[in-house]
Amino acid sequence: MISELSKQFNPKYIKSYASFNKDKDTVLYSGPYWDHREIEAMLTSILKGDWIVSGSKVEKFQAEFSKQFNVKHSHMVNSGSSANLVMFTALKKHFNWQDGDELIVSPVGFPTTIAPIIQNNLKPKFIDIEFETLNFDVNLVEGAITSKTRAIVVSPVLGNPPNMDVLKDICEKHNLVLVGDNCDSLGTTYRGKHLAELYFCSSCSFYPAHHISTGEGGMVSSNSKEYIDIVRSVSWWGRDCYCVGSNNTLCNGTCGKRFDRWLPDYDKIIDHKYIYSNVGYNLKPLDLQGAVGSVQLTKIDEIDRKRRLHKSIIEAALVEHLGITPVKTVEHADPSWFGVPIICESYEQKVFLVEHFEQNRIQTRPYFGGNILLHPAYRHLDNYANFPNSNQTLDRVFFIGCTPLYNEAVLDYIIEVIKKW
């Protein structure tokens, strides 16, 4: 009954271009690649599930996600931004980093890569980007290392990673931690390995625009169980207890000794559910989000294939008809593209192109905030003028979509619009 019921719904947030009309329809840059199966998963979880918040469906999704991306442990939270927050909070605790310790990172990208570094009283150490790839210049990394440097944070631009061999060598040489913000690059591989395999820990986002979507949601992954235990604790109020879903109803909990002497300065029996070892938050997802995530993972190969194909078709038209130079992909990298990056020759060309696409109902996006140091909340961190290449991203860079939602009619229309410019 639920299966048949799910096919009767046609929510507006599930975009279909099956009857695309090029004279009036808008080409969105992205959106959730959903159909009735995700609706069925949500309805089943709500109507027949054993838990409302994080429970068996989330546990199942976490295990499937780890297997898909060849990591040992994954923990789901309620957004990609939350994933970054708990990732950095847990890193500081796990490695005993001190206030003021430094993490090398690009100044170009989304602010929630930078914000949790600051929120944990750590210091982002910025290095400029190279314009060929739009990633930070790996040749500048070693020159930025000081006695306080603890990690290198990689955030691949629209799915396109930097030279990971160089970064791994630097981390090994200087005893640094390699950390990944994979929110835009979930399906990307390097030397045939998923990026998550190359980092000590990584985050990703399940926002509707990203590779897979659970409505909202995020994940932190690592091969270190001790580290993921801290991630889980921080996202669950900071408590020790790791009972999930129906295990919360067990008399003695998952550990078998729920009621015991848990506090060193309180020699009496206390409930383990209310022992707090970390300063934490409540960042739990709903169980229905885990159910949707499991469905989305069955589509991940199709999503990756279509994103790569659509990017190559659109980029070929940009090169042929507009003379746009493609963003460089480093050797051994196979990006799963979040969008089609367009580097213009000048600010004026960018303005003209953005207006042309938007007037023809093809959505564009800037490369997020450009140099974050230009923004009021982050200006105090460093002098933006020290990063000339990063400063040019707002002037010269934007992107359009390559979502798996596109069909042949949409791709033909995008090419038609490119030819008209």
Catalytic residues: 210
CA 333 to centroid of chain Cα atoms: 18
CB-CB contact of 231 with 90 (8 Å): yes
**Residue-wise over 358-397: b if at least 16 C-beta within 10 A, else e?**
eebebebbebbbbbbbbeeebeebbebeebebbbbbbebb
CA 64 to centroid of chain Cα atoms: 17
Nearest to 116 by CA among 283, 338, 339, 242: 283
Which residue, chain included where needed, has tokens 């000048």? 346
Cβ-based neighbour number of residue 227 at 10 Å: 21
Report the C-alpha gap between 296 and 33 in whole angstroms.
8
CB-CB contact of 152 with 200 (8 Å): no
Phi, psi of 184 (to 5 degrees): -105, 5
Query: Strand, coil or helix: what is 376?
Result: coil
CA 342 to centroid of chain Cα atoms: 21
Q: How many CA atoms lie within 13 A of 2 on its CB side?
A: 13
Burial class (CB in 10 A: 0-12, 13-18, 19+), 136: buried
As beta bridge partners, residue 53 has 286
Please give the single-letter amino acid code of residue 253.
G
Q: Which two tokens stand for residue 353?
A: 């192109």
Report the C-alpha gap between 322 and 313 in whole angstroms.
14
* Total residues belonging to the chain: 421
CB-CB contact of 293 with 34 (8 Å): no
What is the DSSP pairing of strand 123-126 with strand 102-105? Answer: parallel
CB-CB contact of 59 with 73 (8 Å): no
Report the C-alpha gap between 57 and 41 in whole angstroms.
10
